[in-house]
Amino acid sequence: MNPYANRENLELVKRFFDKFYDDSNPRVFIVGINPGRFGGGLTGIGFTDPINLEEKCGINNNLEKRAELSSRFVYMVIDAFGGAEKFFSKFFLSALYPLALIKDGKNYNYYDSKEVYEAMKPEIIDSLKKQIEFGATKTAICFGKKNEKFLNEINSEINHFEKIITLDHPRYIMQYKLKKVDEYIAKYLEALQD
């Protein structure tokens, strides 16, 4: 899924970037796997579904208002951190592969197949390098333990991040650890203060 191929989505992304990133401040990158089909795959904004884009970021949109698990958790963390303005002044939500991948109607991770990963690796490196030019600090936060392996591999080639902090993926937390969500929010906040 390529949300950037849609003119309305490009306008939403522009409004989001103008609102939250119209400065030259360096930011800690928070790197996910690849966008989900109901979150960043729709909006073009990492870990941001159409509901949170409107309710938490103040950007009205005509996209189908469907909640996405990862986005729900990330915005709980953002609220606990002090809200979208404060959060986005310090952090940049991203993904190693910038487009949503779908297989058999479900989300698919770039690393689910060695062949897919190897085929996408040059594009992943190119995309990450371009994003780093936005003003990435030398610290990154990685969502997902499996994703960490690939981020480290990519980083060994581009030599940008000096420190990578890995956290359990928001979807994993919401799907399997919901009873401990407050503990995970506290872990995330601790990492964000690091």
- What backbone torsions phi and psi does residue 43 show, to the nearest 5 degrees? -85, -25
Contact (CB, 8 A) for 183 and 73: no
Residues of the chain with pLDDT under 70: none
pLDDT value for 174: 95
Beta pairing partners, 31: 94, 142
pLDDT value for 155: 94
Q: The domain containing residue 101 runs over which residues?
A: 3-193
pLDDT value for 114: 92
pLDDT value for 105: 83
Domain count, the chain: 1
pLDDT value for 85: 97
pLDDT value for 87: 97
pLDDT value for 126: 92
Give me the chain's average pLDDT, please: 92
DSSP codes joined into one string, 61-97? --S-----HHHHHHHHHHHHHT-HHHHHTTEEEEESS
pLDDT value for 27: 96
Which CATH number characterizes residue 145's domain? 3.40.470.10
- Separation CA 184–CA 52 (nearest Å): 20
pLDDT value for 5: 80
CA distances from 112 to 22, 105, 116, 144, 150 (A): 35, 15, 8, 13, 12
